[in-house]
Amino acid sequence: MSEAENTSKAGGFFKRVKAEFKRCTWPKRDELMRQSALVLAVSVVLGGVIAGIDWLIRLGLQAIGL
């Protein structure tokens, strides 16, 4: 395959990618902020749950002497 063919294929690929991005529906700023806050809140809550479970397991293992 020649370099010119590779360049034209790459150019065509990026043109198709650009066209696809134009067809996408992007969220509005307020929706994006709300969803980002929700993801952050869920991550913090799940982190707390995992830390709590870890703490309980560690306590249990210490109680039985492991």
Reported pTM: 0.62
Computed on alpha carbons and rounded to an integer, the radius of gyration of the chain in Å comes to 25
Q: How far is CA 35 from CA 21, 22, 26, 29, 31, in A?
A: 21, 22, 13, 10, 6
Q: Please give the pLDDT value at position 2.
A: 56
27: closest CA among 16, 38, 15?
A: 38
pLDDT in tens, 23-66: 999 899 999 999 999 999 999 999 999 999 999 999 999 999 88
